[in-house]
Amino acid sequence: MTRPIRSRTREAILTAAAARFTAVGFKGASLQDIAADVGCSKATLLYHFATKDALLFEMLAPALSAVEEMDRQLAGLDGREAQEAAIEAFVDLAVRFRGHLTMLNAELPSLLNQPGFNHLLPISERLADALAGRSDEVKARVAAQVVLAGVSGACAQLPDLPDDALRAALLPVTRAALN
Amino acid sequence: MTRPIRSRTREAILTAAAARFTAVGFKGASLQDIAADVGCSKATLLYHFATKDALLFEMLAPALSAVEEMDRQLAGLDGREAQEAAIEAFVDLAVRFRGHLTMLNAELPSLLNQPGFNHLLPISERLADALAGRSDEVKARVAAQVVLAGVSGACAQLPDLPDDALRAALLPVTRAALN
DNA sequence: TCAATGTCTAACCGATCGGTCAGTTCCGTG
DNA sequence: CACGGAACTGACCGATCGGTTAGACATTGA
């Protein structure tokens, strides 16, 4: 039984919003433009999502959950073990969520004031620490930042590359950058 | 002879605008907020810079010039030679301009419609090609994108690291990622 | 000192924005 | 078919935005 067209509007809005936010940023995307992309009214959009922020949060919720889960998995690990686990998990995440990670990063300053997102900065710092293999050396920390920005940036830039091909390329590149 | 305070307003505006644009994006920064940061009126700001766009363009002009110059230098080079030259030049650029490169990248979709900026996309593609050592392999091209986003992202993330320390760390990381 | 020029400003403008609301239409169920 | 609730909408709202303008103030050079 196919779902009626009307009950698919909510998903269409989320998809269109994600595309707009990723292309021109949160502030650069207007609710009217998103509604027009979907082919509904702005008021319809606001019937389904109470605020513009609610749209962004719902878009980012799966990536946020996955980031939190990754953080938990990395918590008890050290040195080389932490690094390898972080590499695998982060690359998987970036490939799976493509441009959403860069959205998380771009909107981080404002997201930090929101309940549910305020632990993101410590998570990000712990991830960088794991990628650096728990090392305090400048080079290791710089490499971790290169990987954080580079892997998520590359995934956003290469939307047409299939997941497995992208992942297969990213893993050795990431390992090489960190070692 | 110290310049009078009034004639320093223009530079203060540029500095404050750069900080705001880098922190919250072009659309996220309002002229009123920038003016408040400087301690002048919005109309004063618009006396010195005709439009908000003019502010952004002037902020980005030095980085743009440097990118164009780098493009010219890379034009006749091939394979390994192209790659090494691109690595050195790009890392130098990113360190020198810190967050401005990420601004160039973030605003690229809208900048492409502006005279003076419309050659940026081909330049960016040629730079990625040089970083990949003119290789068509998926891994080489993915690595180039990682470096483009990663090096500029890391420079934006580490504003307190001195230039020479940052450069010294970035060069080996970049080479390793690309080889 | 004075006129010309540079710099700054408060008040204003129209446009766009996120959001609200009363009313309409659609859908599923008994 | 009638009904209640879900989904949708045009018109509206106040706030903020980039930008404009006439006038005030500051600076400079003769």
Q: Write the CA distances from A156 to A35, A170, B79, B172, integer angstroms.
A: 23, 13, 26, 25
Partner B contacted by A151 (CB < 8 A): yes
Name the nucleotide with the smallest C1'–CA separation from A8: D7
Chain A residues touching residue B145 (CB < 8 angstroms)? 150, 153-154, 157-158
pLDDT by residue for chain A (179 residues), tens only, comes to: 455 667 789 999 999 999 999 999 999 999 999 999 999 999 999 999 999 999 999 999 999 999 999 999 999 999 899 999 999 999 999 999 988 999 998 888 888 888 888 899 999 999 999 999 999 999 999 999 999 999 999 999 998 999 999 999 999 999 999 98
Q: Please give the model's pTM, rounded to 2 decimal places.
A: 0.90
**What pLDDT does B5 receive?**
65
* pLDDT at residue number A1: 41
What is the token pair recorded at A55? 């749209």
Q: Which residues of chain B are within 8 Å of residue A151 when distances are taken between CB atoms?
A: 146, 150
Structure confidence by residue, pLDDT tens digits, B46-88 = 999 999 999 999 999 999 999 999 999 999 999 899 999 999 9
Closest residue to C11 measured CA to C1′ = B43
Interface size between A and B, measured as CB pairs under 8 A: 125
Tens digits of residue pLDDT in B5-50 = 666 899 999 999 999 999 999 999 999 999 999 999 999 999 999 9
Residues in contact with strand D, defined as Cβ under 7 Å from any of its atoms? A 6-7, 9-10, 40-44, 46-48; B 4-6, 29-33, 42-43, 46, 50-53
CB distance B90 to B67 below 8 Å? no
Residue for token digits 């390329």? A169
Strand C-contacting residues in A 1-20, CB cut-off 7 angstroms: 4-6
Q: Burial code of B110-121, b = ≥16 C-beta within 10 A, e = fewer?
A: ebeeeeebeebe
- The fold adopted by the segment(s) A1-49 is Arc Repressor Mutant, subunit A (1.10.10)
Answer whether A147 touches B (CB < 8 Å): yes
Judged by a CB distance cut-off of 8 A, whether residue B143 touches chain A is yes
The span from the CA of B17 to the CA of B34, in Å, is: 6
Question: CA at A8, C1' at C26: how many angstroms apart?
Answer: 14
pLDDT in tens, B86-119: 999 999 999 999 889 999 988 888 888 888 888 9
Domain ranges of chain A: 1-49, 60-178
Q: Is A150 exposed, middle or buried (0-12, 13-18, 19+ CB in 10 A)?
A: buried
Return the pLDDT at A4.
60
CA distance B170 to chain A (A): 7
pLDDT tens-digit series, residues B122-178: 999 999 999 999 999 999 999 999 999 999 999 999 989 999 999 999 999 999 999
Q: Does A148 touch chain B (CB under 8 A)?
A: yes
* pLDDT above 50 (res B1): no
At B103, which amino acid appears? M
**Rounded CA–C1' distance between B111 and C8, in angstroms:** 31
Q: A175 near B177, Cβ under 8 Å?
A: no
Write the ipTM.
0.89
